[in-house]
Structure 1
Amino acid sequence: MTTKQQLLQICNTHVENRIKDYKNEIELLKESLENNDKPNNEDDDSGNGKLMNDLEKNIGYLNEARKTQEYLKLVKTNLLSPNVALGSLVKTDSLQFFIAISLGKIELDGDTFYVISLQSPIGQLLMQKTVGDCFEFNGTKYTVTEVD
C-alpha cells in the first residue's frame, strides 16, 4: 500500500469513527428523551430542552461527517499531476502535506505528515503549486520539493 493510500485510509477510518460516535450519541439522547418524565420546557436548560438541543447538534455533526465521507471519495491516490490538487502528497523543504481533509498531524512509518484540506489557509496557499514554487505561511517560507 502506498503512503497516499495509507493516509487516505487513516482519513476514512477517522471519519467512520466520528460517524459511529455521533450515531451512538444520537441513540443515547433519543433514549434519554423517551425516558425523561419532565414536561418539555424550551427555556429549561435541564431536561428535554437541553436534550433536544444536544440531539439537534449531534444530527448536524453526523450530517457534516457524512458529507466529509462523501468528499473523501473524490480523493484519488493515483493522481498524477505536477500541480498540487486534491489527493496530492506535497513535500516541502521542511514539512510533508497530504491534501484531503483537515485532520492535522499524522505519524506514519516514522514520517510526519500534515493532512489538510484545500479549503484550509495553507491548502489555499499550496493549491496549484508545483515543484520549485515557494510560499510563506505564519512567517515561515517553504519551497515545494516534490508533488506526488
Structure 2
Amino acid sequence: MTIKQQLLQICNERVDKRIQDYKEEIHLIKEAIESNDKGNSEDDDSGNGKLLNDLEKNMAYMNDALKAKDFLKQIKTNVNSTDAVLGSIVKTDSMNFYLATSIGKIELENKEYFAISLSSPIGQLLKNKKQNDRFEFNQTKYVISEII
C-alpha cells in the first residue's frame, strides 16, 4: 500500500469513527428526550430544551462528517501531479501536509503528516503550489521540497 493509500485509509477511518460517535450521541439524546417525555406529566419542557439543542448540534456535526466522507471518495491515490491538489502530499522544509480533509496530525512510518482541507486557510495557500515554491502561514515561512 502506498503512503497516499495509507493516509487516505486513516482519514476514512477517523471520519467513520466521528460518524459512529455522533450516531451514538444522537441515539442517547433521543432516549433522554423520550424518557423525559414519559416521566414528565406537566407542561414543563425546560429539560428538553437543552437536549433538543444538543440533538441539533450533533446532527449538524454528523452531517459535516458525512460530507467529509463523501469528499474523501473524490480522492484518487494513483494520480500524480506536480501541483498541490486534492490528494497530494506536500512536503516542506519543516512539515508534511496531506491535502484531503481536516483530520489533523497523522503519524505514519515514523513521520508526521497533517491532513488538512483545501478550503482551510493553509490549504488555500498550498493549492496549486509547486516544488520549491514558498509560502508563509502564521508568521512561519515554508519551502515546498516535494509534492507526491
TM-score over 0.5 for the pair: yes
Query: For residues 133 and 7 of structure 1, what CA distance do their matches in structure 2 show?
Result: 24
Q: Unaligned regions of 5+ residues in structure 2, if any?
A: none
On the 8 A contact 1:41/1:49 being kept in 2, the answer is no
Q: TM-score normalized by structure 1? A: 0.92
Using the aligned pairs only, state the percent identity.
56
Deviations 1:8-62 (A, max 9, x none): 11110011011111111111111111111234645x2xx1111111111111111
- Hey, what does 1:6 align to over in structure 2? 6
On the 8 A contact 1:40/1:49 being kept in 2, the answer is no
Q: TM-score normalized by structure 2? A: 0.92
Indicate the SS of the match to 1:131: coil
- Hey, what does 1:134 align to over in structure 2? 134
- Hey, what does 1:49 align to over in structure 2? 49
Aligned residues: 145
Aligned AA (1:84):
A
- Hey, what does 2:112 align to over in structure 1? 112
Q: Does 1:123 align with 2:98?
A: no
Indicate the SS of the match to 1:142: strand
Query: Which one has a larger percent helix, Structure 1 or Structure 2?
Result: 2
Indicate how the Cα distance of structure 1 residues 40 and 75 shifts in structure 2: closer, same or farther if over 3 A, else same.
farther
Query: For residues 31 and 138 of structure 2, what CA distance do their matches in structure 1 show?
Result: 47
Indicate how the Cα distance of structure 1 residues 114 and 40 shifts in structure 2: closer, same or farther if over 3 A, else same.
farther
Aligned AA (2:142):
Y
Q: Unaligned regions of 5+ residues in structure 1, if any?
A: none
- Hey, what does 2:85 align to over in structure 1? 85
